[in-house]
Structure 1
Amino acid sequence: MKMKWQARPSHSSRMPERWFRRALWLVAIVFALFLIGLGGKIIGELPTVGQYKVLHDYIDHGRFDPLEKERQAIVKQQNALGEAMEQARLALDKQQAQTQKEQERFDNWLAARAVTEQSSQNPEVIRQTLALDGLKNKEQQLQQKIDALSQQQLDSNQRHSRIQEQIDLLEQEAQERKTADDRRIELKTFLYRLALTLPLLTIAGYLFAKQRQSRWWPFVWGFIYFALFAFFVELVPYLPSYGGYVRYLVGIVITVLAGRYAITAMNRYLERKKAEEALPGNQRQQQMSYDAAQLRISKSICPGCERQLNYQQPDMDYCPHCGINLFDYCNHCKIRKSAFNRYCAGCGHPAGQPEAP
């Protein structure tokens, strides 16, 4: 008997076949890119459904313009009052400093000279006292000027606040009209794009369900990619927001549909696997695709139940999970080989019906 050896898992696809498949995927992507470019060109040349306007276009100018003119005049007056107030404060500070200096000089002069009991009637004392009083009077006049400017500023600020409230009310009304108009344009744009993309999505859904594994699959998948791009790029960004409700609702619907499809597909898969595992091992093996079996073996999973396996174990001839035959023996040379190989790797003899060594 020849020495037994364990066949190593390998991919069954021929090298040219793999390169052809990669080239066909490239064809699908290029086809999708050309379709995307053509679709963008068509959408770009279609007439627009509306032009967005700025807030100024919605304002009632018969009421707004006089208020704005008065507001600008008040602002100009406030600027002038502010400059006058600054000049008056500087003059007051300067006058207060001069008065303080003269007061200190006068106090020192009185303390330094010897006065008589009638010193209060001394002409020099009277003259300097009157001069000091004059400085204090100038101080009071400047303070009165500052008080008057402050009152004017207060009146101007109150007038400005009242006018600004009216302007804000007009702008709020204009904003409401602009928001309503923007939503109308958004809805028209969305419906317009939906009319273009919905047929594409319908066709793409049919192709995915019925034709994705046909002989023309590169063009099928290219069109599917194009439809997905049209949906997520040309349609979804133009969904009306309405505070985010529409977009969240659309997201919920898409998630539910995708989740439902995934759950249904998973249940169908589990039911199919359960039905397959109930069949005898040889019947399951005969119904199994050669390429699919070889691909699963190359990934170290069972061709039948698709659970993880260690193909390096020399005594594992059957799957411990579903019982399908994994290794048998060649009728001609009697070496151990994969039960899914069409020919013996040791002698090249057709597999035929396996027999125990």
Structure 2
Amino acid sequence: MSKSLRLTEKWMHRGLWLVAIVFAGFLIGLGGTLVGDLPQVEKKLSLDDYMDAGTTSALRNSIKNAERAGRDADEALQQAQLKRRAAQADSAAARETFNNWLSTRRATQQADQDPELLARTRALDALKDKERAAGVAVEAQQQAALDAQQTAQRERRKLDELQQVAQQQLNAEYRRVELRVFLYRLALTLPLLVVAGWLFVKKRKGTYWPFVWGFVIFALFAFFVELVPYLPSYGGYVRYIVGIVVTVLVGRQAIVALNRYLEKQKLAEQLPDVQRREELSYDTALTRLSKGVCPGCERAVDLKNPEIDFCPHCGIGLFDHCLKCTTRKSAFAKFCHACGTVSGQHKAA
């Protein structure tokens, strides 16, 4: 068709296609933003929405207190262990000193050292008592740390059980929200596809065809491309089913149009040559001739052969002679290319 257009018309036609593409691009951007923001119509959910607030708060506070008690017990245990090591060191040093003194006393057999023996024994017993007290303190802190740890574990198990139940409810609600959002998106994009189909059938050759084609491109992109990242696991079925339905409808329309065209061509080929040429528009005839086909039946014809004046397939006249200068010219030309005479004008007297 571009070969039959005037130069200015050709560039303006390309400009209108650019308008259609730009229009589709802005529509696609707007549609993508709208489709992506649709989940915001739903409330954001969390586990806490499906857990008893009082019970959950009490368990978390209990865990927090148990953890704090465990940390305090660990710190106290470290101090108690340090004190026990110091007491053990003092007791061991005193025991070594006592044993050395005792060995010396046995060697000298001095009876006057008996009071000192008693004093040293009492001092050693006192150190041993201190060591035992430090050991008791360590055991107490170990017990406190163990109690805090077990309490925290027990409360965590209770909280985990509540969270598991809440997670199941949350997952079920997520599936319901996912379905609702998918239906929102489908309710937005599917009517666009229907409107695009109607515009394609009824308005694609109208005055505002660039906007029609821009909207058609946008609708197809929105449904078959833009919608894909947001489809749930079952959403693909809808997209493929709609694609099959659209393909069947378009295919059926194409088959009906083809049969209608063939029937129309068959009837047209039975009409007189002059009437057939008059019914063909000038632009249509030029377009078909530029493709090397007959304007009447659209079958291939050797238009460069100077001996062919009529289509060998349908009999329509392809070339005639100017009535003024007798130059052979296209039967569909409005003017003679040799003398400029209007086609059909008789010779001057």
1:345 matched to 2:337: yes
Return the letter of the residue paired with 1:220.
Answer: V
How far apart in 2 are the matches of 1:12 and 1:254? 33
Secondary structure, aligned partner of 2:227: helix
Partners in 2 of 1:237 and 1:246 — Cα distance?
Answer: 14
Question: 1:241·1:247 contact (CA, 8 Å) conserved in 2?
Answer: no
Aligned partner of 2:189 in structure 1 is: 197
Distance 1:334 1:177, change over 3 A: farther
Shift in CA distance, 321/30, structure 1 to aligned 2, threshold 3 Å: same
**Partner residue in 1 for 2:291:** 299
Give, as a single letter, the amino acid of the residue that structure 1 aligns with 2:256: T
1:15 corresponds to 2:27: no
Which has the larger displacement, 246-255 or 234-243? 234-243
Inter-partner Cα distance in structure 2 for 1:313 and 1:179 = 77
Question: Of 230, 249, 265, which aligns to 1:273?
Answer: 265
CA RMSD for the aligned pairs? 3.5
Residue 315 of structure 1 aligns with an amino acid whose one-letter code is E
Within a 5 Å distance, the mapping from 1:32-181 to structure 2 comes to: 32-48=24-40
Structure 2 CA distance, aligned partners of 1:189 and 1:203?
A: 22
How far apart, CA to CA, are the structure 1 residues paired with 2:333 and 2:182?
Answer: 56
**Aligned partners of 1:24, 1:253: CA distance in 2, in Å?**
31
Q: Is 1:323 aligned to 2:315, yes or no?
A: yes
Change (3 A) 1:246 1:12: closer
Which whole-Å deviations, capped at 9, do the CAs of 1:78-134 have from their partners, x for residues lacking one? xxxxxxxxxxxxxxxxxxxxxxxxxxxxxxxxxxxxxxxxxxxxxxxxxxxxxxxxx
2:23 alignment counterpart: 31
Q: Choose from 310, 327, 332 the match for 1:335.
A: 327
CA change 1:287–1:49 in 2 (3 A) is same
Code of the aligned partner of 1:258: V
CA contact (8 A) 2:299 2:313 kept: yes
CA distance in 2, matches of 1:272, 1:182: 57
How many Å separate the matches in 1 of 2:212 and 2:242?
26
> How far is the alpha carbon of 1:354 from its aligned partner?
8.5
Q: Tell me, yes or no, if the aligned pair for 1:335 and 1:346 is still in contact at 8 Å.
A: yes
AA at the equivalent of 1:309: V
Q: CA deviation at 1:222?
A: 1.3
Identity of aligned residues (%): 61
Alignment size in residue pairs: 233
Offset at residue 245 of structure 1 (A):
5.0
- Native 8 Å contact 1:328 1:354 kept in 2: no
> For residues 245 and 20 of structure 1, do their structure 2 counterparts lie closer, same or farther at Cα, with a shift above 3 Å needed?
closer
In 2, Cα distance between the equivalents of 1:263 and 1:175?
54
Which residue type is aligned with residue 263 of structure 1?
Answer: I
Residue number among 206, 209, 214 corresponding to 2:201 in the alignment: 209
Larger Rg: 2
1:218 aligns with 2:210: yes
CA 246–195 in structure 1, closer or farther in 2 if over 3 Å, else same: closer
Residue identity in the other structure for 1:203? V
Letter matched to residue 10 of structure 2: R
- 5+ residue gaps, structure 2, are 51-163
Moved more, 15-24 or 259-268: 259-268
Following the alignment from structure 1 to structure 2, what is the Cα–Cα distance between the partners of residues 245 and 202?
18
Deviation at 1:49, TM superposition (A): 6.0
Partner of residue 253, structure 1: 245
Q: What whole-Å deviation, never above 9, does each CA across 1:30-66 have from its counterpart, x for those lacking one?
A: 1111111222233333443669999xxx9xxxxxxxx
> How much has 1:250 moved relative to structure 2?
3.5
Distance 1:244 1:36 in 2: 20
In 1: Cα distance, 2:216 partner to 2:240 partner: 24
Whole-Å separation in 2 of the counterparts to 1:348 and 1:201: 51
Cα distance in structure 2, aligned partners of 1:286 and 1:247? 47
Query: What's the TM-score once normalised by structure 1's chain length?
Result: 0.57
- Tell me the secondary structure at the aligned position of residue 40 of structure 2: coil
TM-score computed with the length of structure 2 as normaliser: 0.58
Quick check: 43-52 or 213-222, which moved more?
43-52
Name the structure where helix makes up a greater proportion of residues.
2
Give the Cα–Cα distance (whole angstroms) in 1 for the partners of residues 235 and 38 of structure 2: 28
Name structure 1 gaps, 5 residues minimum: 1-9, 59-170
In structure 2, what is the Cα distance between the partners aligned to 1:235 and 1:348?
A: 59
Superimposed CA distance per residue, residues 302-322 of structure 1 (whole angstroms, 9 cap, x where no aligned partner): 101111111111111111111
**Distance change in 2, residues 1:53/1:353 (3 Å):** farther
